Structure 1
Amino acid sequence: MSKKVDIKLIALTITLLMCVVVPIVFWPDGTSKIINDFFHMMTTDFAWAFLLIGFGCTIFFIFIIISKYGNIRLGGEDAKPHYKGFTWISMIITSALAAGILIFGIVEWMFYVESTPFGIEPRSVEAYEMASAYGMFHWGFSASAFYLPASLAIGYMLWNRKGKSMKISEACSEVLGKEKMKNSFFKLIIDGVVTFCFVGGLLITVGLGTSVIGELIGDLFNVDNTLTLRITIIFAFCAFFIAATSKSIAKGMAKISNFNIYLALAFFLFVFIVGPKSFILNNVVMAVGTNITNFVKMSFYTDAVAQTGFIQNWTIFYWAWYLSLSISIGLWVARISYGRTFRQIAIGVTVCLPLACWLSFGILGNYGMGLEVNNIANFSEIAVTEGNNAATLAVLKTMPVSTVAIIVFIVLVFFNLATSATSVSTMVAMITSKNLQVNEEPNKWFKVLWGCIFMVLPVTILYLENAVEELNILGIMQSMTSLFGVPLFFVNVILIWSAVKAIKTDYKNNKLKI
């Protein structure tokens, strides 16, 4: 066993995980307060930093699109892609967005009409207009741009520099040194932190997803959405890991990703047909226009004077979340993007992802908003008083053949969560394996092991929700994102620095043509 896996790296990762899990289990009240205090400090005192990082990633995307560096092809000039275009995009979308695009697509606007940005009066006409637009901003081009630098840097070091392993420290070799023992402790820390943050990056989607699925299943079978039910759903994820490992990435994940996309498109079409079509189309166009005219303002809005908390609870939370996912999604995108140019990857990640998000927010979100503004329902009050689980169920129950709609939504959320977790567990198994070639996959049992380990933190958070009365579980999960996002910023800096040095060296030595 020790010959195939990196025992030191696994031990470091589990130790870091236990440093979070143990305090939650034994001191839930005090731990939840510490987590919230840390989040408040990071999102208030360093809001400016998160916003500048997000805007900087957007500028980087534009640079790649218009510059000669967009012509760089992963694997070299003659490299051919491993996957067809639609399958490649599907794999990026399902692994990057998971269930968040579905859940937040339905409910996010509801919170914004009650807690508004820019000093807008709650529940006013302007509040509803800005609520629709702000959801698109939070899931727009700036959001997806967080994943691009790591995707390109890892991809170049992996395929063009012919990296010997999937370890992030290997991709940082131009800065850390290529000799095995040089900076070995620092390399171990980088890989340990990255692996630990992979676990945290899934917290929001798995935590929210299991709660929503539990709420919907509870309604279908007339049972309570208990801790036992939600943990059972997490065990179902583990069963999916075991089944998924019997297929290679190409045969398994590609097919499941395509299925997810087709089913989601069919569901969106159904919601559009049965929903207020005119309102949906008109409000989508207006929301796009609002994003265009207010993009810079939204990108730099720190709320320093009014201090309403909107920017901390949402924009900074999202930016921290995307930062915590940047390496894991970047590694996945790099792994499946052999034969693609930097420009193609930039379009796939920073254009196709936002368009998929906008489709979800535009149809699912405006379906509910259309009913509310026409006084048919009051979803925003449900969201604020009962939570996003109840609000999601309330929206789905207004649809024709609501039982079928609920079942389809459960399937979509489950498979989006499961495929995202499976892809990340595969990546972590690669990172923590020894002597694993780039085109090889880790042992089946090892992927299953990491898939199960990934479920420890969501289960712990569900326990915390059950142990602390009147706990805002969404707030706790939002708070924990900064724990994982901050250290990965520094890893991103080293990673990008290393890739830039490698590209400059290869170009100077005529090993790279642009």
Structure 2
Amino acid sequence: MKNLNFELAIPAITLVITLLVISTLYPEQSQLLASNAMHFVTGWFGWLVELVSLALVGFLFWLAFSKYGSIRLGEEKKEHSNFSYGGMIFTAGVGASLIYWGIGEPMYYLQSPPLFAEPNSYAAAAWSATYSIFHWGVTGWAIYCFPAIPFAYAFYVQKKRTLRLSTLCGPVVGNNPIIAKAIDLLAIFGTLAAFASSLALTVSLLSTGVSALLGIKNSLLLQGSIILLFVLMLVAVMLVGFKKGISKVSDYTVVAAICFALFVLLVADSQFILNNFTDSIGVMLDNFFRMSLWTDPVQKSGFSQSWTQYYWFWYYAYLIMMGLFITRISRGRTIKEVILYTISMGSLGCAFFISIFGGYAVWAQLIGGLPVQQWMSEGGLTFAVVSLIQTLPSGNIGLVLFLIIQFFLMLTTMSSASVATAMLTTNKLELNGDPDHKVKLLWAGAIALISFSVFLCGGGIDTIKSLCVVAGLPMMFIYMILVKQLMMQLKGVNQIKTLEQYESINSETVKVN
């Protein structure tokens, strides 16, 4: 693996593992420290992340429909069909967390609703699915989307073969090697920590489901076996190749997930789900700016800090993973296509799944007489999700299908994380942007090892989740740097084109004379 940048890879992996070990040896102290750090970030910078994120949405839509939107990222043909392209972006961005939180968030919001609503009231029900769709909607996907533009522009237009975040920031912050190393390490740490906790959450859901199906104990051995299965499947996908591997797995998984969601819609109270979805969209459109900028400074309920700001910082921590993965699959597309496909396919796809699974959860709790909130209090959210899926007419067959879909959703996200971190730590990328297989497999193994360490460390997942939010703060400022850097590059191209046009016109004038 001569092409691997060990100076970035080893310290990043070591840092995450070290934090997990410390959280195991000193669980209460480390969790308290990480929690205090997260509260400091949201308390002092929560207002800023809301303003910056809303401004980023406006900037991306302006960029898409400006004269820069027609810039093509590479001269080659589009590598993937529109369906595959949208499907890979969607599965990379949501993983198995979407359905999990699509059920869980509305239940939490019913019990502790936003904007001064009474718990389990009509107002709380109106906000429940609305806020879930909002948190997985346009703003989050804008945060995911933006890094892909400067990365793709650097790789496909400027023909750079090293895609380090520090290289992109260089024209703005300078070329100080210490600052550059800190930026790259922070980016890798954010990706590893954020994804490791997401994978650990999915493994916990899968192990709970398998335990319920087979009547076996939900043990560390079962969780480790599921992680090992992830690694083996990922190796197979990587060896097959990007187009035949990740792309095909993504296509089939998206189709299967859509079919399963439509099945739930048909067998559940379809009328309630459809009406609840329409009402939620209306409530969100009516309150989008209120929700985007609500900080609750007087009542201080903590809702916006615990949910909205938490989500936004979490998305910023994924800068490298989503930016580089979207770059890898966007060859031949225009800037406008990248922006509109990412935001539309991502937010509409999330709204589709949340409206069905979240709507079913709200109906089950408020109308169907199913004790979803009681399941949550007794066995946690994973137990509640599995129990709710088992209430479908298909019973355990539906649960089996659900677990398989969850597995492959996370497998696609794991593939994306491996590709992105491999691209960042590769000294020189190939023309197709695909890192060496050995480097990708190394990162796949590292991610699996870190995820398994989360289970070994007991409460380490809470510490890592809090630190992801803390890591998202400097990433937010790096976004601002990338905006400035991108505009410097785009304006430079525009000036060059204008000069070429002027010289062409001047040349024609000379010929005429």
TM-score range (shorter-chain normalised) is over 0.9
Structure-2 change in CA distance of 1:480 and 1:207 (3 Å): farther
Task: Tell me by how many angstroms 1:362 deviates.
Answer: 0.6
**Conserved? CA contact 1:327–1:488, under 8 Å:** no
Are 2:137 and 1:144 aligned? no
| Structure 2 letter corresponding to 1:490 | F
Gaps of 5+ in 2: 502-513
Question: For 1:387 and 1:259, how far apart are their aligned partners in 2?
Answer: 30
User: 1:495 aligned to 468, 482, 503, which one?
Assistant: 482
Equivalent residue number for residue 469 of structure 2: 482
Question: For 1:264 and 1:351, how far apart are their aligned partners in 2?
Answer: 18
Task: Tell me by how many angstroms 1:85 deviates.
Answer: 0.7
Task: Tell me by how many angstroms 1:466 deviates.
Answer: 6.1
User: 1:398 aligned to 382, 391, 404, which one?
Assistant: 391
Q: Which moved more, 1:106-115 or 1:458-467?
A: 458-467
Question: For 1:275 and 1:512, how far apart are their aligned partners in 2?
Answer: 63
Task: Tell me by how many angstroms 1:114 deviates.
Answer: 0.5
Are 2:291 and 1:298 aligned? yes
Task: Tell me by how many angstroms 1:45 deviates.
Answer: 2.4
Structure-2 change in CA distance of 1:275 and 1:176 (3 Å): same
Gaps of 5+ in 1: 468-472
Structure-2 change in CA distance of 1:305 and 1:295 (3 Å): same
Q: CA offsets, 1:263-314, max 9 Å, x none?
A: 0011011101101010011010000000000101100111221111211221
Equivalent residue number for residue 426 of structure 2: 433
Are 2:312 and 1:325 aligned? no
Calculate the TM-score normalised by the size of structure 1: 0.92
Equivalent residue number for residue 26 of structure 1: 25
Q: Which moved more, 1:428-437 or 1:394-403?
A: 428-437
SS at match of 1:22: helix
**Conserved? CA contact 1:120–1:126, under 8 Å:** yes
* Residues 99-110 of structure 1 aligned to structure 2 (within 5 Å): 99-110=96-107
Equivalent residue number for residue 87 of structure 1: 84
SS at match of 1:166: coil
* Residues 345-364 of structure 1 aligned to structure 2 (within 5 Å): 345-364=338-357
Q: Which moved more, 1:305-314 or 1:255-264?
A: 305-314
Question: For 1:58 and 1:366, how far apart are their aligned partners in 2?
Answer: 27
* Residues 169-184 of structure 1 aligned to structure 2 (within 5 Å): 169-175=166-172, 182-184=175-177
Question: For 1:398 and 1:291, how far apart are their aligned partners in 2?
Answer: 29
**Conserved? CA contact 1:174–1:502, under 8 Å:** no
**Conserved? CA contact 1:36–1:479, under 8 Å:** yes
Equivalent residue number for residue 407 of structure 1: 400
Equivalent residue number for residue 214 of structure 1: 207
Q: Which moved more, 1:445-454 or 1:379-388?
A: 379-388
**Conserved? CA contact 2:238–2:246, under 8 Å:** no
Task: Tell me by how many angstroms 1:457 deviates.
Answer: 3.2
Task: Tell me by how many angstroms 1:232 deviates.
Answer: 2.1
**Conserved? CA contact 2:17–2:453, under 8 Å:** no
Q: CA offsets, 1:467-508, max 9 Å, x none?
A: 9xxxxx6x5554232133123223323333222211111111
SS at match of 2:72: coil
Question: For 2:289 and 2:147, how far apart are their aligned partners in 1?
Answer: 24
**Conserved? CA contact 2:104–2:381, under 8 Å:** yes
Equivalent residue number for residue 111 of structure 1: 108
Q: What RMSD in Å do the two structures reach over aligned CA positions?
A: 2.1
* Residues 3-82 of structure 1 aligned to structure 2 (within 5 Å): 3-75=2-74, 78-82=75-79
Structure-2 change in CA distance of 1:267 and 1:36 (3 Å): same
Question: For 1:304 and 1:335, how far apart are their aligned partners in 2?
Answer: 42
Task: Tell me by how many angstroms 1:227 deviates.
Answer: 2.6
Task: Tell me by how many angstroms 1:22 deviates.
Answer: 2.7
User: 1:507 aligned to 472, 486, 494, which one?
Assistant: 494
* Residues 190-229 of structure 1 aligned to structure 2 (within 5 Å): 190-229=183-222
SS at match of 2:234: helix
Equivalent residue number for residue 97 of structure 1: 94
| Structure 2 letter corresponding to 1:404 | I
**Conserved? CA contact 1:317–1:478, under 8 Å:** no
Question: For 2:464 and 2:125, how far apart are their aligned partners in 1?
Answer: 26
Report how many aligned residue pairs link the two structures: 501
Question: For 2:94 and 2:498, how far apart are their aligned partners in 1?
Answer: 36
Q: CA offsets, 1:177-213, max 9 Å, x none?
A: 6xxxx53343333222212221022134212111111
Question: For 2:396 and 2:482, how far apart are their aligned partners in 1?
Answer: 48
Task: Tell me by how many angstroms 1:14 deviates.
Answer: 2.7
Equivalent residue number for residue 470 of structure 1: none
Equivalent residue number for residue 159 of structure 2: 162
Structure-2 change in CA distance of 1:512 and 1:169 (3 Å): farther
Q: CA offsets, 1:354-382, max 9 Å, x none?
A: 10000111111111211222142121232
**Conserved? CA contact 2:24–2:459, under 8 Å:** no
Q: Which has the larger radius of gyration?
A: 2
| Structure 2 letter corresponding to 1:283 | N
What is the aligned-residue identity percentage?
A: 28
Question: For 1:18 and 1:396, how far apart are their aligned partners in 2?
Answer: 35
